[in-house]
Amino acid sequence: MGRTGLYIIILWYLVYVLVISADAADTKHLNIWPMPQSVSYGYGSLYLSNDFVLKTKGSKFADASGILKDAFFRTINVVKATHVIEANTSNINPTFVLKGIHVVVLSPSDELQHGIDESYKLHIPANGNPLYVHIEAQTVYGALHGLETFSQLCHYNFSSRGIQVHQVPWTIVDQPRFSYRGLLIDTASHYLPLPVIKKVIDSMTYAKLNVLHWHIVDSQSFPLEIPSYPKLWDGAYSISERYTTADAAEIVSYAVKRGINVLAEIDVPGHAQSWGVGYPALWPSPDCKEPLDVSNEFTFKLIDGILSDFSKIFKYKFVHLGGDEVDTSCWQSTPHVYKWLWRNGLNGSEAYQYFVLRAQKMALSHGYEIINWEETFNNFGSKLSRKTVVHNWLGSGVAQRVVKAGLRCIVSNQDKWYLDHLDALWQGFYTNEPLANITDPKQQALVLGGEVCMWGEHIDGSDIEQTIWPRAAAAAERLWTPYDKLAKDPEQVRDRLSYFRCLLNQRGVAAAPLEGLGRAAPEEPGSCYVQ
């Protein structure tokens, strides 16, 4: 090599180092959401190769269904979608270029179920030739979380017009604090088209949420096809606002490939007026349309049929049977139901218990464990199946009583984690602690986690994203990050959450500003990062 050529290489290297230094200074703050269990990093920078590849040598996971491969391409797409990539990394010294990701999954299984290992280790070395990102995980679903974290370490460089990873070397060891990290959507109050639901699922992966609680039907509408009882579909809002069984199976498949379980809910015996549009016999009377008729055997035959059809689609180990807000006065004021109550020696509250427990036995017979809203526990907790998970929603302190009774619990107290409450601010979402006042480790283990609830009375496809985000992300960190790593003052994470909100916007998710009430619009012109 001639002297001139050597000078050019040295000059290029000095310019490159200066660019690295300037860019590294801009990313001195750690912007990962949710915060991992353990993070260490350095001060170098690397480029992503134009031909960034996935390598799986040594992995026991065959990826027959393409879960890992598809996740890899999604990761690269979200990283590269921020700007047009113009850099030609073949002209850069290979010791500064990441050639790809080497993923090693230790389990050959792709089964997604409650309580699977979601841990991962991520390492990005500062030097080597060739250079690879390394992810190791027990399951493929832990690897997906590792890919998401990696995507948040990537940044577009406006000088080189390429993608860089700053602050190398990175070493991240991570796993979730809680096994259940949920988001409820409500397709009964307003119909949500399939592309909207899929986009919600995609956005959940960015915050490492792992359960989509699908509140499918309610008093207002019954949009889901039930092959065993096809007239239930008559309760949909319109002929087009419906889901076929194939649609439901597609949602489950789409979610599972992204590491998300789908929890299906039928809410009985209340919240079921729409059921009687196709089957009027389910109503106690034409003037008294809910709760479902407890005196009619057809009611339970139909519920059993629904659960049988569910078991062919929804493979998550839990099914949600509702059980909330049951007003039994309708039963007592309807002559034939009242006679049934009298013959069986039951009052209204005892008939409510009879209904819930019978529905539980049906669910158990179809291989499900049960989730019920907290009213069932508040009214007859000692009678519930021991396979019941009590879903808190009315207020705080419920989880304490549930786990003391030896049952499992999910926390969703409406004063903090109801997304439809627009006056519930992100700070409250962040500080809401599922284990509040629960100190016994055995009782703490009975709290499966928590869920933010996107009830749909005032939400449809036009505004669901900005109502969910970024407040759901604040709860997501509470559910993922170790307790001692959580900020005691939510203002300490404001900048990082604001950064994540802007990242969601860059990825096409309509996340609202942090300032103001839920789904508030920006107040004035300004940077995304200060709204």
Residues taking part in catalysis: 325
Side-chain-side CA neighbours of 457 within 13 Å: the count stands at: 6
Helix or strand run (H / E) with residue 444 = helix 441-444
Hey, what amino acid is at 285?
Answer: S
Backbone angles phi, psi at 353, to 5 degrees: -60, -45
Helix or strand run (H / E) with residue 120 = strand 120-124
Distance CA 370, CA 260 (A): 18
- Could you tell me the two tokens for 327? 């007003």
DSSP-assigned letter for residue 439? -
Distance CA 411, CA 397 (A): 10
- DSSP, collapsed to helix, strand or coil, labels residue 36 as coil
DSSP-assigned letter for residue 35? P
Distance CA 259, CA 201 (A): 10
Distance CA 269, CA 311 (A): 20
- Of the candidates 472, 400, 394, 464, the one whose C-alpha atom is nearest the C-alpha of residue 430 is 472
- Could you tell me the two tokens for 213? 């609680």
The answer to whether 471 touches 520, Cβ cutoff 8 Å, is no
- Could you tell me the two tokens for 190? 């307003």
